[in-house]
Structure 1
Amino acid sequence: MFTGIVQTQARVAQLNDREQFRQLTVQVAPEYLQHVALGASIAINGCCLTVVAFTADTVSFDIIDETLRLTNLGALTTGDNVNFERSLKVGDEMGGHYVSGHIHCTGSVVKRERSADNLALWIEFPEQFKAYVLAKGFISVNGASLTVGQVESNRFSLHLIPETLRLTNIETADVVNLEFDQQTMTIVETVERVLAQR
């Protein structure tokens, strides 16, 4: 479980690819790997991954076919920056919203509108998820807990403050990982199921 408050960006240090498999190694400041252990969960671009190896400043993950299909992790190249968040611990401040790290799909950044102090993005996503995207609702974008701005069909806008731009890789991303709010999904699907039974 995560909060969607990205802690830092890590750099892709090494990629080892086999058929329908990728081992990803990222380099990050040692302070973010304190007390890390094999089997721990870390969100990389919002995707919950399991630690399979680590050093003082690197951590490695195995990524299999389903994750490669649903996320932007298969498109990473050496030197890319990824959003990094350690899993939530009991007693941590809940600054974002509950994020599972289970990516539903990717979205494409189709428009950027810059001003002096913020950046507005429009993101297009698959039509089958339209019911879960609501104005002022929660969404996780590359692991960052954000508030949806406007919604137009299968597009939504985000308004990003300088701190979000500083901490995350969203400003330069063309394809982003999306995780829809699980509570919203549960309510929508329950209502649809009840109405279908009437």
Structure 2
Amino acid sequence: MFTGIVEELGEVVGLTDTGGDSAVLAVRGPLVTSDARHGDSISVNGVCLTVIDNVDGVFTADVMGETLRRSSLGALEEGSPVNLERAAALGSRLGGHLVQGHVDGVATIVAREPGADWEVVRFSLPASLARYVVEKGSITVDGVSLTVMAVDDETFSVGLIPTTSKLTVLGGKDVGDPVNLEVDVIAKYVEKMIGARNV
């Protein structure tokens, strides 16, 4: 479980195809690896990955084909910056919202509208996720907990403050770039429970 508050901008140092339907991802992140052990969870651009090993500030993780197909991790290459967050610790502050690190879909950046103090960024909204995205609700974009400013049937917008632009990969992404989306899991549970009652 994560909070969507990015701790560090890491760097991909390798994405190795293992010859099957998987790959091994190697990421440099001195902060998140400072206490990382085998089996720990680290969110990479919003995808929960399990640490295989951690050597000199670089951790490796297995990435199965399902994850490569359903997220933007397969498009990473050596030198790509990535958002990193360690799993939340019980008893600590919850700065963002409850994030599982389970990507629901991939969107693209549709527009960026810079302002004097912050920027509005608009993303495509996959039809299968539209019912879970509401104005002023929470959404995770590349592992960043954000508040939805506006939403319609095909897009949604968020506001990026300078800190978010500077300290996450979202500041350097261009129109057309892919991003990982995770909708609020509570909405999915509510939908399932209401559906079960109406059967």
Deviations 1:11-55 (A, max 9, x none): 0111211332111101122x3322211010000001000001111
Kindly indicate whether the alpha-carbon contact (under 8 Å) linking 2:125 and 2:153 is maintained by their aligned counterparts in 1: no
Q: Is the 8 A contact 1:110 1:124 kept in 2?
A: yes
Conserved 8 A contact 2:34-2:57: no
Distance 2:164 2:129 in 1: 25
Once the two structures are superposed, the pairs formed by residues 141-152 of structure 1 within 5 Å of their partners are: 141-152=141-152
Contact 1:131/1:188 (8 A) holds in 2? no
Aligned-pair identity in percent equals 37
* Gaps in structure 2 of 5+ consecutive residues: none
The equivalent of 1:25 in structure 2 is: 26
Shift of 1:128: 1.4
Give the unaligned 5+ runs of structure 1: none
RMSD between aligned alpha carbons? 1.2
How many matched pairs? 195
Task: Look up the match of 1:164.
Answer: 164
Task: Give the TM-score normalised by structure 2.
Answer: 0.94
SS of 1:148 mapped into structure 2: strand
**Superposition deviation, residue 117 in structure 1:** 1.7
Contact preservation (8 Å) 1:109, 1:124: yes
CA distance in 2, matches of 1:143, 1:150: 19
SS of 1:66's partner is: helix
Q: Which amino acid in the other structure matches residue 8 of structure 2?
A: T
Where do residues 1-198 of structure 1 align in structure 2 (5 Å cutoff)?
Answer: 1-17=1-17, 18-29=19-30, 31-173=31-173, 174-195=177-198, 197=199
**Whole-angstrom CA distance in 2 between matches of 1:41 and 1:100:** 11
Q: CA deviation at 1:190?
A: 2.6
Paired letter, 1:9: L
Q: CA deviation at 1:90?
A: 1.5
Q: Which amino acid aligns with 2:20?
A: E
Runs of 4+ in 1 over 2 A off after TM superposition: 188-195
